Amino acid sequence: MIAWRLIIRGQVQGVGYRHAMVRAAKTLRVGGWVRNRRDGTVEALVQGDPEAVEQLLGWCRSGPPLARVTAIATVAADVDPALGAFEHRPTQ
């Protein structure tokens, strides 16, 4: 298993990005969470099978149809065995 922390920049709030990411992650069986940040970015922690996580990262580069992703910062994270299914978390 691998884990990444993501900060997604661009037009990613108010376009259904988080809800679409939850659906994509569940389809790929990737665990973790996603939330809006007050600075207008979206933050996520994704973990799971390396191939599935890479597929989700590919999805994140474009997101849902109304999103306009301009950059994604990725930082390796520790795998958290306590994380379950992918979830939507409150803004921070």
Give the pLDDT score at 23. Answer: 97
35 is catalytic: no
* Domain ranges across the chain: 2-66
pLDDT in tens, 22-75: 999 999 999 999 999 999 999 999 999 999 999 999 999 999 999 999 999 999
Three-state SS for 22? Answer: helix
Query: Regarding the domain delimited by 2-66, which CATH topology (the fold level of the hierarchy) does it fall under?
Result: Alpha-Beta Plaits (3.30.70)
Give the pLDDT score at 84. Answer: 86
The C-alpha atoms of residue 43 and residue 65 are separated, in whole angstroms, by 19
CB 43 within 8 A of CB 89: no
18 is catalytic: yes
Give the pLDDT score at 59. Answer: 98
Q: Which of 29, 35, 36, 38 does the annotation list as catalytic?
A: 36
Q: Which of 18, 29, 35, 89 does the annotation list as catalytic?
A: 18
